[in-house]
């Protein structure tokens, strides 16, 4: 019998209880799944970093923590966590949701939809967007989400460049992507981008990676789309770049302080679109299958998938 603790906000249990049981039953494992188990009996924790579980010391037989979120910055540096930590990588749910959100907002900016939707003067003004082939897009961050978004955008005809902090295996780089890695190549990756999509993790190395210097490397009038992490953007520098026209618009789904304070200048700026951290969410049905498969792998003595590199923080 293996014991699995579900540790997340209480309202999430109703969404995950049945899907997790269906997925775990399909593995044939003998298990107990509960929100309340003796700490010293727990083998696995299905975990949200905002749960009440913050001290992992009592979990003396813990084999792994299976994160429900793609982001792990709120747990990876927990000094009490010594068991393996797996992040959520869910192509059928979370990844697909991100692809749809990113593609929608890239197309919104590419086609100039705001020019049409926001017109209130009843004047018939015609504008023509270029074809996608003439609108270069750069994606910063090239893990599972970045790779999937790149493939979708290239399928629509956009030229796509990608940048990551470290070199990716050649098999992870779709044909046609102009790929850059390492800090020194970042200005080159940004140089031609009319639209930049931020999908980097939040680490000490990526904090404020969008700053006055990197925005200056972009063509004047570029657009920034951030469904990644709020810590990626120097907010004061972004406001200054919008004021000068260096950045024509920013669509932001994540922020350094969430919820975004009511008096934050982003709300009132006509060149900034605020969305409430909705770019993509973990879908219980598909996420449950990822979790159950990972537990089954571990029980068979196989390596866990999507393990977090503690040194890299993701």
Global pTM reads 0.93
> Which member of 105, 135, 165, 229 is catalytic?
229
Take residue 185 and report the two structure tokens written for it. 């190549």
| 118 — pLDDT class (breaks 50, 70, 90) | low
Domain range annotation of the chain: 2-90+282-299, 91-274
Q: Give the strand order in the sheet containing 85-86.
A: 31-34, 2-7, 44-47, 64-67, 85-86
Whether the pLDDT of residue 119 is over 70: the answer is: no
Q: What is the pLDDT of residue 171?
A: 86
| 48 — pLDDT class (breaks 50, 70, 90) | very high
* Residue 300 is a catalytic residue: no
> Which member of 108, 181, 271, 277 is catalytic?
277
Q: State mean pLDDT over 253-260.
A: 97
Q: Which fold has domain 2-90+282-299?
A: Rossmann fold (3.40.50)
Backbone angles phi, psi at 65, to 5 degrees: -110, 125
Name which CATH class applies to 91-274.
alpha beta
| 239 — pLDDT class (breaks 50, 70, 90) | very high
> What percentage of the chain has pLDDT greater than the value 90?
91
Nearest Cα neighbor of 186 from 138, 147, 239 is: 138
> What percentage of the chain has pLDDT greater than the value 70?
99
Q: What is the pLDDT of residue 168?
A: 87
Q: Following DSSP, what letter does each residue of 222-261 receive, concatenated?
A: EEEEE-S-GGGB-HHHHHHHHHHTSEEEEEES--SSSSPP
Q: State mean pLDDT over 267-276.
A: 97
Q: State mean pLDDT over 201-212.
A: 96
Q: Does this chain's domain 2-90+282-299 share its CATH topology with 91-274?
A: yes
By mean pLDDT, which of 14-18, 111-115, 185-189 is the weakest?
111-115
Q: State mean pLDDT over 93-115.
A: 96
Residues 150 and 142 sit within 8 Å (Cβ to Cβ):
yes
Q: What is the pLDDT of residue 122?
A: 75
Q: State mean pLDDT over 263-283.
A: 97
Average pLDDT, the chain: 96
Whether the pLDDT of residue 38 is over 90: the answer is: yes
């Amino acid at each position: 019998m293996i014991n699995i603790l579900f540790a997340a906000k209480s309202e999430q249990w109703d969404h995950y209880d049945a899907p997790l049981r269906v997925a775990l039953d399909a593995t044939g494992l003998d298990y107990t799944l509960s929100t309340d188990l003796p700490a010293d009996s727990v083998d696995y924790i299905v975990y949200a970093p905002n749960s009440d579980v913050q001290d992992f010391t009592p979990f003396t037989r813990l084999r792994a923590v299976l994160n429900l979120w793609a982001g792990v910055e709120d747990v990876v540096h927990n000094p009490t966590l010594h068991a393996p930590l797996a992040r959520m990588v869910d192509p059928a749910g979370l990844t697909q949701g991100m692809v749809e959100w990113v593609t929608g907002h890239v197309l919104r900016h590419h086609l100039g939809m705001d020019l049409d939707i926001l017109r209130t003067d009843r004047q018939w003004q015609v504008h023509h967007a270029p074809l996608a082939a003439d609108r270069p897009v750069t994606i910063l961050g090239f893990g599972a989400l970045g790779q999937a978004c790149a493939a979708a955008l290239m399928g629509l005809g956009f030229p796509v460049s990608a940048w990551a902090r470290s070199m990716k295996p050649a098999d992870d780089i779709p044909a046609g992507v102009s790929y850059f890695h390492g800090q020194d190549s970042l200005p080159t990756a940004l140089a031609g981008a009319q639209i930049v999509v931020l999908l980097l993790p939040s680490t000490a190395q990526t904090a404020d990676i969008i700053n006055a210097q990197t925005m200056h490397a972009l063509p004047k009038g570029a657009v920034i789309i951030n469904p990644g992490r709020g810590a990626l953007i120097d907010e004061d520098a972004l406001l200054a770049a919008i004021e000068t026209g260096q950045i024509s618009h920013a669509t932001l789904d994540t922020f350094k302080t969430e919820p975004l304070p009511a008096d934050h200048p982003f709300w009132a700026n006509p060149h900034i679109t605020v969305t409430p951290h909705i770019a993509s969410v973990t879908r219980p049905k598909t996420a449950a299958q990822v979790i159950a498969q990972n537990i089954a792998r571990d029980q068979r003595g196989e390596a866990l998938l999507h393990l977090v590199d503690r040194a890299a923080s993701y």
